[in-house]
Chain A
Amino acid sequence: MGRLVAVGATSHILMSPQGVEARAQRIVSGMREVGRRLLAKKPDVIVVVATDHMFNVNMSLQPPFCVGVADEYVPFGDMDIPREPRPGHRAFAEAFVAHAAARGFDLAKAEELRPDHGVALPLMFIDPARTVPIVPLLVNINMDPAPAPARCHALGGVLRETVDRHRPADERVAVLATGGLSHWLNVARHGEVAEAFDRNVLASFERGQPEGLTRLSAAQVVEQGGNGGLEIVNWLLAAGAAPAWRGETVYYEAMPEWFTGMGGMELHA
């Protein structure tokens, strides 16, 4: 059996540091620290649980969940992210999709995926050398209905079962969730940051008890944290792979100038 060795989570946006230099620096340092801790566990593969911003998964085809099974990923290049290739991990991805199908999750597979900033931006800081193979797992929060928080959390459990039952002995697996925290994008309340919501989310993971969040509907998360804040389902999915692990907040900054709350966390066994 394989072994889950690390779980991390971080917001996945950066904007101009002009006028917010100190906070931007703390955010960048926080992202790098999330990465340092993740790579210190020497993972053989990183499952990146993220949201695509309709550069790949748009309205033409709308899978609730999509797993990249490719051997290599070249970023889409939005936000001027360098189009530098990163290895994929086909064997892990295929094993996950197969096990998920047996456990009631029929996941879409993608051979062609050009990761946008949801996947590619955190990895710039977390694995700048681009050495650790990745498996992108995209959660489609931009479709209606979006996957429910409880469903995402449960899929994390299936991901863990894949590691425990279907992967080679001593394979070391990391899970990185990206996205959030609260933000309202081009809807009513655009630009708001709900710091109380963000702090509550972080505290839930710190206690190792995000179940309160999984009891919310997607619509309730949107009401409290915004249409972009629904990205916390990615964090819930990652936590579902590591039940009873407790979170340690690495960084948090409310960033109204960037229209979002920014946070990062490590989960410990």
Chain B
Amino acid sequence: MARYAVNRLVQELFREPGLVTRFRERRAEVYDAYGLDAAERAALDEGTPAALASVGVHPILQMHYLLACNPDVARLITVDAYRDAARGK
């Protein structure tokens, strides 16, 4: 059964200033602050969609997590290559 706590942490990653950096550098501290249980901590540590789903992370919030923690995903999902095209160049 999904708990709100793990979703709350993930949905605040991009909304709370500094949280992504804090999460990357002092992950255990963030886990404590959001009251995550052992299974949720293990799932976020593993970081795969399957692991995230196993503790009930919302599919869209799984994307947030991947964007925050997986540079390959962040490199794939960006408008950087289209800035000139948007301006008609």
Contacts and interface: CB of A to CB of B under 8 A. Distances in A.
Contacts of A244: none
Given A59-B11, A124-B86, A80 B79 contact: yes
A55 B11 CA distance: 7
Interface residues of B, number: 30
B11 A128 contact: no
Interface string B31-63: 000000000000000000100110000111111
Interface string A169-194: 00000000000000001110010000
Contact of B11 (A58, A76, A80, A82): A58
Binding site secondary structure of chain B? helix
A162 interface: no
Nearest to B11: A58
A227 B59 CA distance: 9
Given A28-B85, A60-B8, A128-B87, A185 B59 contact: yes
B72 to A, nearest CB: 10
Interface string B53-88: 100001111111001000000011111111101111
**Most chain B CB within a 10 A radius of its CB, from A82, A186, A190:** A186
Most chain A CB within a 10 A radius of its CB, from B7, B49, B81, B86: B86
Given A60-B8, A185-B60, A125 B76 contact: no
A186 B53 CA distance: 8
A78 interface: yes
A16 B49 contact: no
Contacts, number: 74
A85 interface: no
A142 B85 CA distance: 30
A139 B62 CA distance: 20
A142 B61 CA distance: 10
A81 interface: yes
A143 to B, nearest CB: 10
Contacts of B4: 59
B86 A186 contact: no
Given A78-B14, A187-B59, A15 B77 contact: yes
Given A142-B58, A186-B49, A16 B76 contact: yes
A78 B79 CA distance: 9
Q: Give the interface centre of B4, B76, B82 by most chain A CB atoms within 10 Å.
A: B82
B77 A53 contact: no
A256 interface: no
Contacts of B53: 186-187
Interface string B4-33: 100110010011000000000000000000
Nearest to A121: B79
Interface of B: 4, 7-8, 11, 14-15, 49, 52-53, 58-64, 67, 75-83, 85-88
Interface of A: 13-17, 28, 32, 53-55, 58-60, 76, 78-82, 117, 121, 124-125, 128, 142, 185-187, 190, 227
24 contacts: A15-B77, A15-B78, A16-B77, A28-B85, A32-B85, A53-B63, A54-B61, A59-B58, A76-B14, A80-B80, A82-B83, A124-B82, A124-B86, A125-B85, A125-B86, A128-B87, A128-B88, A142-B58, A185-B60, A186-B52, A186-B53, A186-B59, A186-B60, A186-B63
